[in-house]
Amino acid sequence: MIGIGLVPACSLQHPPYGLPKKVALLLRLLAADGWVLVVQRGSHRQFNHPTKPGRVTVAGKPSDDLARGTLQSIMKQARVKWSTR
């Protein structure tokens, strides 16, 4: 049954819990880490960081779900390891 037990039906996080599932939450986490939006074309946003090299690209509307592989790729680009707890 969905929504009963440990995982709510409207979970905003991927297992392991703590990783963002929605684009909007990922955007907030990147901003909190210091990434700044520099270019946007349609639903693709590119971010720069004042001290970290390179750019991070995030695609999708804020309400879209993130695929796990896409999330891992963005985390690798951003050189960020978010806590899973």
Q: How many whole angstroms separate alpha carbon 36 and alpha carbon 55?
A: 10
Residue 84 has pLDDT above 90, yes or no: no
Q: pLDDT for 11-61, tens place per residue?
A: 444 555 566 789 999 999 999 999 999 999 999 999 999 999 999 999 999
Name the residue among 16, 38, 12 with its Cα closest to residue 25.
12
Residue with the larger pLDDT of the pair 82 and 29: 29
Q: What is the mean pLDDT of residues 60-77?
A: 90
Predicted TM-score (pTM) of the model is: 0.73
Model pLDDT, residue 80: 84
pLDDT top residue among 18 and 74: 74
In the chain, the domains with their CATH numbers are 13-78 (3.30.920.30)
Concatenated DSSP letters of 20-48: E-BHHHHHHHHHHTT-EEEEEETTEEEEE
SS3 of residue 52 by DSSP: coil
